[in-house]
């Protein structure tokens, strides 16, 4: 069974949004490189996301939860612009209740009933039970957020090679032919979307990439 979280922003996603229960939709893939879940075994895992970056990370969180004995402490950090932007609220409550799991949420703007932090997701680092020497970090979100977070975490003692980022670009062919998602010498579709931080750190924040 496959679950997809789709935001209606263009012609294709709008067409998908108009589908009814029972309609058929063809899917190719998955392509490229995913989260380093095998490499993360035996380590503490930090899943850091911003905005809709939470969607690509849910599969990794569920994988870890289903195989809980294979991993150490699970820390889930999620930031959103507005408290109402948070999706899957019930899921975060469920994760928070699990053993050896810490969930911290932050919103730039709060709303009535918001009991979590107000501010940037990086403000959660001081509250998180971070163990740089034993952790592997998976991150997805706006590129400026990931760039700032990666630099902050390296300064806190995280090894750059244990930081993994899921990048986002407009993919057309998904097999590295059309060039729409070229990222320096890499292609997000076939070489990513998940990259080791040292592999792309010089491109983060560079205009045109």
pLDDT digits (tens, 9 = 90+) for 157-174: 999 999 999 998 888 888
What is the side-by-side strand order in the sheet with 44-50?
Answer: 117-118, 101-109, 74-82, 44-50, 135-140, 163-166, 194-196
Q: What integer pLDDT is reported at residue 6 of this predicted model?
A: 77
% of the chain beyond a pLDDT of 90: 67
Domains in the chain, please, with CATH? 30-166 (3.40.50.80)
Task: Give the confidence band of 150 by pLDDT, cuts at 50, 70, 90.
Answer: very high
Q: Which segment of 89-93, 175-179, 185-189 scores lowest on mean pLDDT?
A: 89-93
Please tell me what DSSP assigns to residue 70.
Answer: G
For residue 178, count other CB atoms closer than 10 A to its CB.
Answer: 14
Q: Which segment of 3-7, 68-72, 190-194 scores lowest on mean pLDDT?
A: 3-7
Task: Please tell me the pTM assigned to this model.
Answer: 0.90
Task: Give the confidence band of 1 by pLDDT, cuts at 50, 70, 90.
Answer: low
Residue of higher predicted confidence among 122 and 208: 122
% of the chain beyond a pLDDT of 70: 100
pLDDT at 188 over 90: yes
Strands 163-166 and 135-140: parallel
C-beta pairs of 58-65 under 8 Å, 24+ apart in sequence: 58/3, 58/5, 58/88, 58/91, 59/35, 60/35, 60/138, 61/95, 63/35, 63/37, 64/37, 64/40, 65/95, 65/98, 65/101
pLDDT at 29 over 90: no
Q: What mean pLDDT comes out for the span 109-113? A: 90
């Amino acid at each position: 069974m496959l679950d997809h979280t789709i935001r209606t922003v263009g012609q294709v996603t709008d067409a998908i949004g108009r589908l009814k229960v029972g309609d058929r939709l063809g899917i190719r893939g998955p392509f490229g490189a995913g989260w380093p879940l095998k490499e993360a075994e035996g380590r503490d895992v930090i899943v850091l996301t911003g905005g809709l970056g939470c969607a690509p990370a849910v599969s990794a969180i569920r994988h870890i939860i289903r195989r809980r004995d294979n991993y150490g402490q699970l820390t889930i950090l999620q930031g959103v612009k507005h408290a109402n932007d948070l999706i899957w609220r019930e899921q975060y409550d469920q994760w928070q209740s699990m053993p050896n799991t810490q969930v911290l949420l932050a919103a730039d703007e709060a709303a009535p009933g918001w009991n979590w932090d107000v501010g940037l997701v990086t403000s959660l680092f001081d509250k998180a039970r971070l163990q740089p020497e034993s952790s592997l970090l998976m991150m997805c979100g706006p590129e400026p957020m990931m760039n700032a977070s990666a630099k902050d975490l390296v300064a806190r003692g995280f090894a750059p090679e244990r930081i993994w980022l899921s990048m986002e670009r407009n993919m057309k062919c998904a097999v590295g032919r059309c060039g729409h998602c070229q990222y320096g010498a890499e292609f997000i579709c076939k070489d990513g979307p998940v990259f080791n931080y040292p592999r792309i750190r010089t491109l983060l924040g560079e205009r045109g990439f």
